[in-house]
Amino acid sequence: MVRYVFHEMDFREILGNFQIKGNVQSVKAFGAGHINETYLVSTDCAPYILQSLNTQVFKNYEGVIDNIAKVTSFQREKYLKEGKDIEKLLYLIKTKDNNNFLYENGKCYRMFNFIKDSMVYQQTDDLNILEEAGFGLGDFIATLNGFDATQICEVIPNFHNTKIRYEDFKRALREDKAFRASAVKEDIQFVLDRENYCSIIVDKIQSGVIPLRVTHNDTKLNNFMFDNKTNKFSCLIDLDTIMPGSLLYDFGDAIRIAASEAGEEERDLSKVKFNLDNYEAFLKGFLKGVGNNIKKEEAKLLHISAKIMTFEIGMRFLMDYLDGDVYFKVHEEDMNLVRARTQLKMVHEIEQHEKEMEKILYKYYNNI
């Protein structure tokens, strides 16, 4: 959705602080995210992306930008060393004071180069695109293998700590701030019945069986950019949640959308189905991209991670519904409930396909 929102005075001052080329022609709202505001800025020389960070969610916005600066430079240097094309990589546009962001009127603004001739998919059943997406994520993990995770700050503590998310959910249930719990008892029970999912990845990280890496942490399909002619993977965008994490977070979170036949906001739950072919294509690409940068202990849990990450976000949407929609942007009153239901239906779907998913994993990963 592209909406014309050029308020000359609002944006001219902000954009005037950044090192961009040319005169600004227009600023348009862009993107469909639940957290930040994204704008496409066109000048007579080049397009750019301007974003205002949600500082309620990202309280440590300086840490967020610092993480992105470190990771994108590391990625760039590694690509150069390996002779890979850097044209389609993301980088921050500096301000005239040589900073990576601008803090103005309580808002944090940052700019990126515009990735040319590229696009995102909200959903697709094109297996070549899904394999490319999987490859792109695997390659991202492989590129950052060896990047010292202690250099990166944890911008949202315990973001994918499913055990802590579960405790937060129980808090929301106890408080029932928006008086909605009694009408959604079945959804709540579905979550409560699956408490055992919460510790599967987290405990293995805590005991050191699964390594902490630098991961993306928000790998839904619309954060993958593809070349709009060749459909080759260009890069991952939406880098705000880059933090120390597990590759299982990224793989599982990607599968919940890549292997779903319906969008997050689908009201007809009969359309929410798990597609094994999509899963297979993404997995195949992922294993190719990550190469030997994955440990056996991680690989063993790839199929399980889809269930856990889908469960986690379903629980987060339901929690926000109980809290009265204080975290995710909503455009309809029951939107968080609708989102929770698609995700929890996906969990049920994944549970039905677990054995087949494991079999497919063995087909492509031989070292288990």
Residues near ligand GN1, by CB under 6 A: 33-35, 57, 218, 220, 238, 241, 264, 313
Q: Does 201 bind ligand ADP (CB under 6 A)?
A: no
- What the block records as the tokens of 84 is 């890979």
CB of 238 to ligand GN1, least distance (A): 5
Q: Residue 89 or residue 142: which is nearer to ligand ADP going by CB?
A: 89
DSSP states along 53-112? E-TTT-S-HHHHHHHHHHHHHHHHHHHHHTT---TT---EEPBTTS-S-EEETTEEEEEE
Q: Does 31 bind ligand ADP (CB under 6 A)?
A: yes
- What the block records as the tokens of 30 is 């862009």
Q: Residue 130 or residue 155: which is nearer to ligand GN1 going by CB?
A: 155
Q: Does 223 bind ligand ADP (CB under 6 A)?
A: yes
Distances (CA, A) of 240 to 101, 257, 321: 13, 19, 24
Spatial separation of the C-alpha atoms in residues 75 and 49, rounded to whole Å: 20
Q: Residue 172 or residue 335: which is nearer to ligand ADP going by CB?
A: 335
- Sole window of 26-34, 130-138, 280-288, 355-363 interacting with ligand ADP (rule: CB under 6 A): 26-34
- Binding-site partner at residue 120 among Mg ion, ligand GN1, ligand ADP, none, CB < 5 to 8 Å by type: ligand ADP
Burial of 77 by CB count in 10 Å (0-12 exposed, 13-18 middle, 19+ buried)?
A: exposed
Q: Residue 218 or residue 349: which is nearer to Mg ion going by CB?
A: 218
Q: Residue 127 or residue 164: which is nearer to ligand GN1 going by CB?
A: 164
CB of 221 to ligand GN1, least distance (A): 10
Alpha helices in the chain (DSSP H): 8-15, 61-81, 127-144, 162-175, 185-192, 199-206, 247-258, 276-290, 296-299, 302-323, 335-364
- Binding-site partner at residue 264 among ligand ADP, Mg ion, ligand GN1, none, CB < 5 to 8 Å by type: ligand GN1
Q: Does 42 bind ligand ADP (CB under 6 A)?
A: no
Neighbouring CB atoms inside 10 A of 164's CB total 14
Sign, CA dihedral 178-179-182-188, equals: positive
What residues make contact with Mg ion under the rule CB under 5 A?
Answer: 33, 223, 238
What residues make contact with ligand ADP under the rule CB under 6 A?
Answer: 30-33, 35-36, 38, 49, 90, 112, 114-115, 118, 120, 222-223, 237-238
